[in-house]
Amino acid sequence: MRYISTRGQTAPLGFSEAVATGLAPDGGLFLPEQLPDLRGRWPGWAGLSYADLCFEFLRLFATDIPAVEFREIVRRSYTKFARTEIAPLRRLANGLYVLELFHGPTLAFKDFALQLLGNLYERQCRVRQETINVLGATSGDTGAAAIHGLLGKPGTAIFILYPDGRVSPLQERQMTCTGAENVHAIAVDGTFDDAQAALKEIFGDQDFRVRHRLSAVNSINLARVLAQCVYYLHAWLHLSAAEQAKVEFVVPTGNFGNILAGWMLQQMGVPISGFKVATNQNDILYRFFTTGDYRVGQVAPSLAPSMDIQAASNFERYLYYRMGCDGAKVRAIMREFKTNGGCRFTELDRGTFTASHCDDGEIPGIIQRVKQAYGYIVDPHTACAFRDLNPQRVNIVLATASPAKFPETIQSATGEVPVDPSLEVLKAKPVIKHRLPATAAAIRSFIEAHAV
Ligand SMILES: *Cc1c(COP(=O)(O)O)cnc(C)c1O
């Protein structure tokens, strides 16, 4: 299987090369040259464990890694989850399920992809006999999950920038209390945008990037999207035939990465009835799927901070398919988006996608209502997905984070303080963070001193 860019101006690459490259050189995102047809394959997959299903699915894409080795990599990627089911599907009521994606090491769904990506990076180092320095900026969950994906891995170092004082105390502890020598959590004096701007400048320095074999960790890596397809398939396979026929996945959405994975699985032949894009008050995707207008606004910080996004980077992958796989059309749209801050589409995909949005004022009430109705506590991101469910469908709500990561919001909504043992352990550990100004020069010299 080869991988092409959404902008059509990059020569196709193999799986490992596309994963190591991240963003395509023409500025686009990698996608499989053709999507495999899964029809006829899944009857043999229904009884598999999560890791074995993941292997069977991903081997269709990772065709350049020997199967025995790849199976071992995939199995190892799901050993740090706190539940044997890995992604438990909990029934709350008739026709209503929660797919719990928060039992990984950082208690958010990003672990599903980043545990695997860390192992793929490690393999790449071994095969090429090179070291790699991974660099990223985070407003919370991605940084923590990336750090836990690379923790202690030989040949790698990871540098994560975050805005000092602006990530939650527990998220900061997940990044700074690991004790691992290859992890560098950098608290920059500035906002997330300042951190991102410094990072962009560093990646723009071709010589520096090549010299330190820098790789970016962000939400657009091909391996992340593919790894995320698996929990949709795993959940769907666990339903009765009657339920399978009317499933709607309801997905708390920011960068469109999670929901895109589900949609791609549908494109591979799995008959999923629909997807609901559930946004918080930063609702560019809600506006797009209800009006066809895709237009950036100002980011308004919310109680569901991992969805505080205006331009959804993975949306470009969806656009590519909607534009009939025409890279030239994608380039034109992205150009228009960049110059005008938006574009308008006339044809909506109403058959497949519906959308909802949820203001901050509504989130505590939803948390309280869900607890009263089902005796179940959802985190503020997952709460957005309960905004308005379609009673004609079997709803599977993706629970993207553990409520224990957001004790203040949950306490004010329900009076209870959710706890998770892994977070309690962190509270006793020393915080190791480096404070730096949010300038490319300061960060560059820090990397210079600590790179592997
Ligand atoms: C990252 C994240 C999201 C948004 O996921 P996208 O793939 O960006 O749509 C939602 N909830 C939580 C808890 C997250 O960490």
263-285 pLDDT, tens digit per residue, is 999 999 999 999 999 999 999 99
Q: Cβ(277) to ligand 1 under 6 A? A: no
Give the pLDDT score at 275. 97
In sequence order, the β-bridge partners of residue 157 are 133
Helices 141-150 and 169-176 pack at an angle, to 10 degrees, of 20
110 tagged catalytic: yes
**Cα–Cα distance between 295 and 316 in angstroms, integer?**
14
Q: Which atom of ligand 1 is nearest to the CA of 145?
A: 15
Compute the distance between CA of residue 157 and CA of residue 181 in angstroms, rounded to an integer. 8
According to the model, what pLDDT value does residue 191 have?
A: 83
Confidence of residue 43 (pLDDT cuts 50, 70, 90): confident
Higher local confidence (pLDDT), 29 or 348? 29
Find out whether the beta carbon of 124 lies less than 6 Å from any atom of ligand 1: no
Q: In what order do the strands lie in the sheet with 394-399?
A: 89-93, 96-100, 394-399, 247-252, 274-279, 353-357
Q: Confidence band (pLDDT; 50, 70, 90) for 141?
A: confident
Average pLDDT over residues 122-138: 93
Average pLDDT over residues 418-438: 94
| C-alpha closest to that of 193 among 444, 438, 407 | 438
pLDDT tens sequence across 53-105: 999 999 999 999 999 999 999 999 999 999 999 999 999 999 999 999 999 99
Span 225-242, pLDDT tens digits:
999 999 999 999 999 999
pLDDT above 90 coverage of the chain, percent: 84
Determine the pLDDT at residue 7: 97
For residue 152, report the distance from its CA to the centre of ligand 1, in Å: 25
CB 257 near ligand 1, within 6 Å: yes
400 CB less than 6 Å from ligand 1?
A: yes
Please report the pLDDT score of residue 168 as a whole number.
Answer: 85
Domains of the chain in sequence order: 85-108+223-418 (3.40.50.1100)
- Separation of CA 1 and ligand 1 centre (Å): 28
